[in-house]
Amino acid sequence: MSLTLLKKTLRSYASPARMKTNEWFFKTGKGQYGYGDKFMGVSDPDSRKVARQFATIPLTEIKKLLQSTIHEERATALKILVLKFKNGDEKLQKQVYDFYLKNFALVNNWDLVDGSAYKIAGAYMLTHPKEARILDTYAQSNNLWERRLSIIATLAFIRNNEFTWTMKNAKVLLADSHDLTHKAVGWMLREVWKRDSKIVEDFLMKNYKQIPRTTLRYAIERMDEKKRKRFLKGI
């Protein structure tokens, strides 16, 4: 299956109305985090459908797709990578993991990170713990998306009831200035809380003064109303 056919198939699902909505939703205006990103108006389910259809396309072609200026083409490239990793043997998983990190500069919006970081980087690190050391570097990166990867990738560990990396990087990222990082940290803390409420509540109490309000709201979202109000008021 050719890259040309993939792009043609993807474009067949495009909607001008959805394109406008996506441009607004992903903040493509001047000065916003998504400035310069271009959309054709393809829904996420349709993107997944195309990814499944072209799942056998080689990494060389995926790289070309990932280099596209069109958001949905990059998103589809990442969905194919996730499928290759999920269904691949040890050798292919290593190839996909290395490819992913080598080309991570092209994973440049929050949805692209969220749909791939824990499914590729996190999943590989879970079975190859030494690889997780790079999360330290990403957590302190000047690049917003690398910092987001450093916390989102830990979802693979959380789902295996391993919380060390999440709590470690959550602490580092409390000083981050970007709202997208605040949301990501809060989300991961909430995921940990579902499995071990005490470790998260202790973290919130210990670091309360440093926790961005957005992070706090995301982290306590599933708590009962009484406890949630206590945290919002400062315990």
DSSP H helical segments within the chain, as ranges?
3-11, 16-25, 44-53, 59-66, 71-87, 90-102, 110-114, 123-127, 134-139, 144-152, 155-158, 164-172, 179-195, 197-206, 213-219, 225-232
pLDDT tens digits, 154-181: 999 999 999 999 999 999 999 999 999 9
Residue 64: pLDDT over 70: yes
Q: Which residue has the tokens 């991961």?
A: 188
Q: What is the mean pLDDT of residues 52-69?
A: 96
Residue 207 reports pLDDT greater than 70: yes
Q: What is the mean pLDDT of residues 48-63?
A: 96
- Mean pLDDT, range 127-139, rounded to an integer: 97
**Residues 3/57, Cβ–Cβ less than 8 Å:** yes
CATH of region 1-108: 1.25.10.90
pLDDT-derived band at 223 (thresholds 50, 70, 90) equals very high
Q: Note the pLDDT of residue 235.
A: 66
The values of phi and psi at residue 38, to 5°, are -120, 145
Task: Compute the distance between CA of residue 112 and CA of residue 70 in angstroms, rounded to an integer.
Answer: 12
Summarize the confidence of residues 226-231 as an average pLDDT: 91
Q: Where would I find the H helices in 38-141? A: 44-53, 59-66, 71-87, 90-102, 110-114, 123-127, 134-139
Looking at residue 211, its amino acid is I
Q: What is the mean pLDDT of residues 99-125?
A: 97
Neighbour tally for 27: CB within 10 Å: 15
CA–CA gap between residue 66 and residue 99 (Å, rounded): 11
The domain 116-235 is classified under which CATH number: 2.30.30.100, 1.20.140.10, 1.25.10.90, 1.50.10.10?
1.25.10.90
Measured CA to CA, the distance from residue 165 to residue 29 in angstroms comes to 34
pLDDT tens-digit series, residues 174-206: 999 999 999 999 999 999 999 999 999 999 999
Please state which of the ranges 12-16, 19-23, 31-35, 170-174 shows the lowest mean pLDDT.
31-35
In the predicted model, what is the mean pLDDT of residues 14-34?
89
First to last CA, the chain: 58
pLDDT of residue 1: 64
Domains 1-108 and 116-235 share a fold: yes
Domain ranges of the chain: 1-108, 116-235
Task: Quote the pLDDT of residue 38.
Answer: 93
Predicted local confidence at residue 156, as pLDDT: 98
Q: What is the pTM assigned to this prediction?
A: 0.94
Average pLDDT, stretch 144-150? 98
The answer, yes or no, to whether residue 210 has pLDDT greater than 80, is yes
Average pLDDT, the chain: 95
pLDDT above 90 for 4: yes
Q: Which two tokens stand for residue 90?
A: 């040890």
